[in-house]
Structure 1
Amino acid sequence: MIAALSADGLTPAFLALALGITFVAGFVKGTTGFAMPMIMISGLASFLSPELALAGLILPTLVTNVMQALRDGIAAAWRAVRRFRIYFAVGGACILLAGQLVTALDPRIVYALIGIPITGFGLLQIVGWRPRIAPENQRVAEVGLGAASGIVGGISGVWGPPLVMYLTALGTPKAEQVRTQGVAFALAAVLLVATHLQSGVLNTRTLPFSGLMLVPALAGMWIGQRVQDGLDQEMFRKATLVVLMLAGLNLLRRAIM
């Protein structure tokens, strides 16, 4: 495995850096319930090929999201599936479609179109704006943000910010928000694995690297969950908004650079 990864530019120093980045990503995910793919793809792609960076986050994302979704039991996870089934269905379909375009579509346009409203939403909420989605508008918001999440996720492996924005605007309680994010991201991660087994991004050369990243991801997530358990609803909301705004800024950075 080491010889194969060395051919991709993964020296021992870069391997150590990759492990450290993944640990931080796991910690942030354990604390806020999202942002692992964002942190991993941003960090890993700065010194690895885009394909290897994307492959590296796939297994950690899948395993940690399944753990997050089932933390309160199967029954609670199933309630989240039923409540947000339209969002999940639209997002899943868009992941499958957009994943096939990962090598053909210029992702910078997509990053910009999603990054601008996400950054603005997070910033306005931090300074005191509290939007709410009216019941009569919830279906439209669910379909639109589900599609946005799936398109960005299929291209980059980062599908969390639109869902977090949606749940925050609904005023979702902390435990339910984290559980719903886990369910959504776990379903999306299964689709991402299937998509990139087909696209060739996840293969016998990249799969061992993705498996290795599981170790720091799980360690970081365990510590982050201990921190999350100590946060009240308002502190959790603020931490989520900060990470959400950073996610939006990161998408804009990728659109520009």
Structure 2
Amino acid sequence: MSDFSIPVITAITATFFVAGLVKGITGMGLPTVAMGVLGALLSPLAAATLLIVPSFVTNAWQLFAGADFRAILGRLWPMMLAIVVGTMLGASFIAGGDTVLTTATLGAALASYALYTLFARQISVPGAAERWMSPLVGVVTGLITGCTGVFVIPAVPYLQALGLSKDDLVQALGLSFTVSTVALAAGIGAQGAFQIERLAISVIAVIPALAGMWAGQVVRDRISPSTFRRGFLLFLFLLGVEMAIRPFL
């Protein structure tokens, strides 16, 4: 399916609409859904390349919609710098052509994220630990991003544990996701793995992603976000398990 035939392009369009829908309802999840579904249809490298532009546009919008960008950046810059370093180091895995390893790793990351979000209790990071934990979490997040194209673990649980206000948390997630997207693009580019055809489709994928976000915001006013969230995470867990065990079947 690497020739981007009409059925594949249709699947990509539908995937980014659904991913945008999830982000519109929950405030996050676009890259996770996109990599989870597209990773089952395309190579992880192709899926990650398609993800770059829609992820950047939607997350940059989320980042700059907040009111206190400088304060968030001033607090989290060590983590952001570490994400860039980790992603650059890990990008050789997703660009190396070892689809068995990267697909299995992606599946494990998705399943782990779903389980954590479903069942883990909210944790709290002491202020004294933030100085050394932020770079550590950033490096690990970057390595997972470089290997799988998914940049939610462990960044999302960590940011949730910092005790940020609702608006600051949304902006901090936007910052982390934006930096991760740019770092992933730089990592893939440094490996010489970019293809113009994929980038062109990635640009086009912004349209269904934004349409999905708008629809998700409408849906959010009509259904329980918690009910949708549980169903989405269960689907994500099953998809992750299938991808993790696929190489061994």
TM-score, normalised to structure 1, is 0.79
Within the candidate set 5, 9, 21, 1:15 is matched to 9
Distance 1:181 1:246, change over 3 A: farther
Query: Does the 8 A contact of 2:107 with 2:239 survive in 1?
Result: no
Alignment CA distance shift 1:10-1:155 (3 Å)? same
**SS in structure 2 at match of 1:83:** helix
Where 2:70 maps in the other structure, the secondary structure is: helix
Which residue does 1:193 correspond to in 2? 185
Aligned residues of 2:19 and 2:29 also touching (Cα < 8 A): yes
Q: Could you tell me how far apart the structure 1 residues matched to 2:44 and 2:102 are?
A: 12
Structure 2 letter corresponding to 1:62: F
Cα distance in structure 1, aligned partners of 2:226 and 2:172: 15
CA–CA distance in 2 between the matches of 1:151 and 1:226? 35
Cα distance in 2 between the residues matched to 1:253 and 1:96: 28
Change (3 A) 1:31 1:116: closer
1:237–1:181 distance in 2 versus 1, CA, 3 Å: farther
The residue aligned with 2:164 is 172
Q: How does 1:88-103 map to 2 (within 5 A)?
A: 88-102=80-94, 103=96
Q: Could you report, residue by residue, the CA deviation over 1:83-127 in whole angstroms, capped at 9, with x for unpaired residues?
A: 2112111111101111123216633675577567644532334xx
- How big is the alpha-carbon RMSD for the aligned residues of Structure 1 and Structure 2? 3.1
- Displacement after TM superposition at 1:198 (Å): 2.6
1:163 paired with 2:155, answer yes
Change (3 A) 1:122 1:220: same
Alignment-derived partner of residue 51 in structure 2: 57
Of 216, 232, 243, which aligns to 1:254? 243
In the alignment, which of 123, 128, 138 is matched to residue 131 of structure 1?
Answer: 123
Q: Secondary structure, in 3 states, of the residue corresponding to 1:197?
A: helix
Change (3 A) 1:134 1:78: same
**What is the CA–CA distance in structure 1 between the aligned matches of 2:132 and 2:110, rounded to whole Å?**
20
- Contact 1:34/1:160, CA 8 A, preserved across alignment: no
Say whether the 8 Å CA contact 2:21–2:214 is kept in structure 1: yes
TM-score (norm 2): 0.81
Paired position in structure 2 for 1:72: 66
Structure 1 residue 180 displacement after superposition: 0.9
1:108-161 alpha-carbon deviations (Å, 9 max, x no partner): 675577567644532334xxx332222233334323322221111112221023
Higher mean alpha-carbon deviation, 42-51 vs 77-86, is at 42-51
Classify 1:226/1:58 alpha carbon distance in 2 versus 1 (closer, same or farther; 3 Å).
same
The alpha carbon displacement at 1:12 in A equals 1.8
In structure 2, the CA distance between the partners of 1:96 and 1:83, relative to structure 1 (3 Å rule), is: same
Query: Structure 2: how far apart are the matches of 1:57 and 1:161?
Result: 17
Find the aligned partners of 2:102 and 2:175 in 1 and give their Cα distance. Answer: 26
Partner of 1:28: 22
In structure 1, how many angstroms separate the alpha carbons of the residues matched to 2:48 and 2:181? Answer: 12
Q: Percent identity?
A: 26
Which range is displaced more, 87-96 or 173-182? 173-182
Is 1:121 equivalent to 2:116 in the alignment? yes
What is the number of residues matched between the two proteins?
242
Structure 2 residue runs without a partner (length 5+): none
Is 2:210 the partner of 1:215? Answer: no
Q: Which amino acid aligns with 1:52?
A: A
What does the per-residue CA deviation read over 1:54-87, in whole Å, with 9 as the maximum and x for residues that have no partner? 21111111111111111125xx222211121121
Aligned-partner SS, 2:154: helix
1:163-186 CA deviation, whole Å, 9 max, x = no partner?
Answer: 211122234333221111111111
